[in-house]
Structure 1
Amino acid sequence: MRFSTEAMMSFNSTATRRLFSGLFLALCLVAGIQGGSTCAATASGFTGPEVPAVSGLRGDYTNIGARTADGRTDIAKLISVLKTINASDYFHLVWDNRPAYRYAWEDFQLMAPQFQNAGLNLWLTLTPPSEGVPVPFGGDYVQWAVECAKLAKSYPAIKGIVIDDFNGNTSLFTPAYCKKMMTEAHKIAPKLALLATCYYGYETKILKQVEQGAIDGVVFPYFYPQENNSDTTLLSAQIKMYRITLDKTLKRVKKHKQLPLIVMIYATKHSQSPDAPTPDYVKECIRIARQSIDQGLANGVVTYQLPKSDQAFIDAVSSAYR
């Protein structure tokens, strides 16, 4: 998740951040969603009639801290840590040919039966063209969807596909293209879901996909406009405002169900951040996210690159996910 900073995201003083936080919260109160969403959670997703809605997700993203010496995923360690932190889901990143990800697709295929046996959910996260297309199927994301579906047919622990930095690649991931991906996937595995990663402040870039039912949920990484990995004060208001935007968009097109919103918390330093997250920061962000889940505003939370060899981070997340 490395997205270029635009002028609109240049708010960097503490006073400004707190001012916007207060304004966001005030707008939320006016909108009338304090304590709950304006539309109830649905029993189904959007891209197909058999796609289940994401609910109560507690996850982690990438195999940081669970790799072998030759750069492969240490699947046994990964599963062990996920169970220790009380996670339900894992987002596995498949990228280009750089050493740490060269065998990521092969590892994903090996993970599927083991995650099935372990009772854990597995998601395939794919980099978009702006980040370098994933191997081995490159920029043919329809084929990626089909290949993922083939595996999911045998191992229903595979829940879906997540597109990284979706908001920066909507020229490719148009509603029509997303629908083509999932139409082909659903011929094989009709319950497979499609999630789009979209930063706060960029929601307008995905509204056509939301309106047309081309995605089954949004992964929202908490980073802008504060641009650090230490300030937790904006998270609650941002979740509320994100929920307002999604709900209003669907209401406008007379879709009376809720699009799942998954909050992503940085547990490893963002490339644009002046500081690195601490275990306490991650724990507090998860607490806020889970409170929002209880209020009906969000549907899950996932850590970004939890250091799975750092006991302090493992303990913090284990406590927060309990």
Structure 2
Amino acid sequence: MPRLVRVAVLALLLSMIPGTSHAAPPGVVGTAGNLVREVEPRADGIRHVDTKAMIPALKALNVNTYVYPMAGDHHHWDDLHREFLPAAADAGIDVWVLVNAPSQATCCVSRPYEHDYVAWARELATLSKSHPNLIGWTVDDYSFDLQTFTPAYVQQMRAASKAINPSLKFIPIVYYLHFTDAFVAEQAPLLDGVIFPFWDDPVRDTSWSWSLSSQVKQIARRLPYTDVYLMPYAYPLSHAAQKPTVAYVEAVTRKALEHVGTAELAGVVQYKLPYMSRSSGWTRPATDNLARTGNGRLSFVVEADMATRAGMSCTAIRKVGLTSGAARHAVSFWHRDTRGSGDRGGYHVKQLLLNGQVVWQRDVAADPRDEWQKATVDLTSKLAGATSATLQWRLYERIGVSDYRVDASVDDIAVTGLQLSDPGVENAAFWTPALTRTGGPVYCSAQVYHQNYGADLSARVAELYAAGAS
């Protein structure tokens, strides 16, 4: 029975029971990775997985699922079945096991069964018989290794697992661009679900969240018989221009849980969310704060190796009020460009627009790299008789590029004769709803630095999970 039909039937049955809450059935809410080791080695000289510390921290995050990575050492397998699975069961936490793909061999090989995925299927199924809270397993970067995971080989994996425990789920990680017609036809029928990491394909960033809904809806339409779990990036994504912010992860998680409620997703599993003080990424270094003052800035980005076309843009739009009786109306702001090598002019242009008309512009190559510059624009004559106006900060592609990286910043806005909330860009909530993008790889965001990233983000995700899983 398709996922949407199952939910509809359950909702119908619930609606027939007097006095019963009609909330959507709870989905998976979890996190993956960020195993924490014990501070001191045991008698065997090994710093084992710190199960006693991890389980309370995961409970505080309100997860019902944890994806346990086989991170390379043999003892992770022993710690899993001897300590972690029993403790997770007592805490009411289901466990999926993550195994690395062959393409990750230069950094990560899962042991003890390495790249024998039939053996992994067999042994995890066997382990799940004695630990019923081991309900699934996944292969990281699965869709990058389909030359290994052919339909015939996956059939062998499936047969080995189902012969021992038909209930154990295989839920590999599949990226958006890999949901091809061939994959849907050949692979999807062999899988019990997929984990879909969201990174704004094909741009590959952790700043722009608006493409999430369209991608989720498309995958749900293409895979009506397959459970899909969205994976937000709570941990830095390699080759992305920026690290995820608290506001970004919160926005992606909130939107994903809405799609769980509509049965287009079966759950949400964070990628390496820092959930305790010894988690990797719990705090952020001061060098991550790229604001001129305070913690926040507007950021307009084109990443390296990304092709743009003339006319593409991303814009931060704000309504402003006019101060009654003011003799002068003006806006000033600081701007800075972090860009790739060379000073090629004529491509990326920073602009300020008033009511849709350009009133200031500056080529990103016109100023020294990574130095803040101040701009002041007098708007008095253009606002004669007005009571309100719209300001827009924009990065505009005058000529398309194929590989010309830029991160243009705006900060410390000051206005005269105008009213503008949060001119220092310290609260992403003021700026994020009014960001617009013409399509393509030019994107923008309110980047607000949190030194206590893990603590701040964990608190917000825990609140969302508590509501989403209730």
Task: Assess same fold via TM > 0.5.
Answer: yes
What is the deviation of 1:95? 3.6
Any gaps of 5 or more consecutive residues in structure 1?
Answer: 1-36, 44-53, 248-257
The structure where helix makes up a greater share of residues is 1
Report the equivalent of 2:121: 145
Shift of 1:91: 0.5
- Matched-pair contact (CA < 8 Å) for 1:85–1:321: yes
Are positions 1:319 and 2:463 aligned together? yes
- Structure 1 residues 236-260: Cα deviation after superposition (integer angstroms, max 9, x where no partner): 111111112223xxxxxxxxxx210
Higher radius of gyration, 1 or 2 = 2
For residues 106-255 of structure 1, the aligned pairs below 5 Å read: 106-109=78-81, 110-132=83-105, 133-204=109-180, 206-211=183-188, 213-223=189-199, 224-247=201-224
Distance 1:102 1:230, change over 3 A: farther
TM superposition shift of 1:42? 7.7
2:31 match: 60
CA spacing shift, 1:306–1:148, aligned 2, 3 Å: same
Mapped to 2, the partners of 1:60 and 1:74 lie a distance apart of 16
Q: Distance in 1 between matches of 2:266 and 2:226?
A: 9
Matched, 1:82 2:58: yes
Structure 2 CA distance for aligned equivalents of residues 277 and 116 of structure 1: 31
Q: Is the 8 A contact 2:172 2:195 kept in 1?
A: yes
Letter matched to residue 68 of structure 1: E
Which of 72, 75, 92 matches 2:48?
Answer: 72
Counterpart Cα distance in 1 of 2:211 and 2:5: 24
**Between the two proteins, what is the percent identity of the paired residues?**
30
Shift of the 126–196 alpha-carbon distance from structure 1 to 2, 3 Å rule, reads same
| Residues 209 and 115 of structure 1, relative CA distance in 2, 3 Å threshold | farther
Distance change in 2, residues 1:166/1:74 (3 Å): same
Q: RCO higher in 1 or 2 (8 Å CA, sep ≥ 6)?
A: 1
Distance across 2 between alignment mates of 1:38 and 1:102: 37
Q: Deviations over 1:49-93 (max 9, x none)?
A: xxxxx97100100135x3323553211222112211111100111
Distance of aligned partners of 1:319 and 1:104 in 2 relative to their CA distance in 1, 3 Å threshold: same
Q: 1:68 to 1:227 in 2, by over 3 A?
A: same
Counterpart of 2:75 in structure 1 is 103
Alignment partner of 1:303 is 2:270: yes
2:236 paired residue number: 269
Shift, 1:38, TM fit: 8.9
- Structure 2, unmatched stretches of 5+, are 9-24, 42-46, 278-453
TM normalised by structure 1 equals: 0.75
CA contact (8 A) 1:282 1:316 kept: no
Provide the rounded CA distance (Å) in 2 between the counterparts of 1:272 and 1:242.
Answer: 25
Partners of 1:86 and 1:105 in 2: CA distance: 25
Match of 1:104, as an amino acid? H
Match of 2:6 in 1: 41
Q: Secondary structure at the match of 1:197?
A: coil
- Alignment size in residue pairs: 260
Give 1:46's aligned residue: none
CA spacing shift, 1:214–1:38, aligned 2, 3 Å: closer
Aligned-residue Cα RMSD (Å) equals 2.2
Residue 201 of structure 1 aligns to a residue whose secondary structure is helix
Instruction: Give yes or no for contact 2:3–2:227 (8 Å, CA) kept in 1.
Output: no
* CA distance in structure 2 between the aligned counterparts of 1:154 and 1:55, rounded to whole angstroms: 26
- 1:293 pairs with 253, 260, 266, which one? 260
TM-score (norm: length of structure 2): 0.52
Partner of 2:286: none
Distance 1:209 1:62 in 2: 29
Give, in whole Å, the separation in 2 of the partners of 1:174 and 1:121.
29
User: Quick one: which amino acid aligns to residue 268 of structure 2?
Assistant: V
Moved more, 67-76 or 123-132: 67-76
Partner of 1:283: 250
Which has a greater percent of strand?
Answer: 2
* Maintained 8 Å contact 1:55/1:260: no
Shift of 1:186: 2.1
Maintained 8 Å contact 1:235/1:285: yes
Q: Quick one: distance in 1 between partners of 2:153 and 2:91?
A: 34
How far did residue 288 of structure 1 move? 0.3
Q: Distance in 2 between matches of 1:146 and 1:126?
A: 13
Task: Please state how far the C-alpha of 1:41 moved relative to its aligned partner.
Answer: 3.5
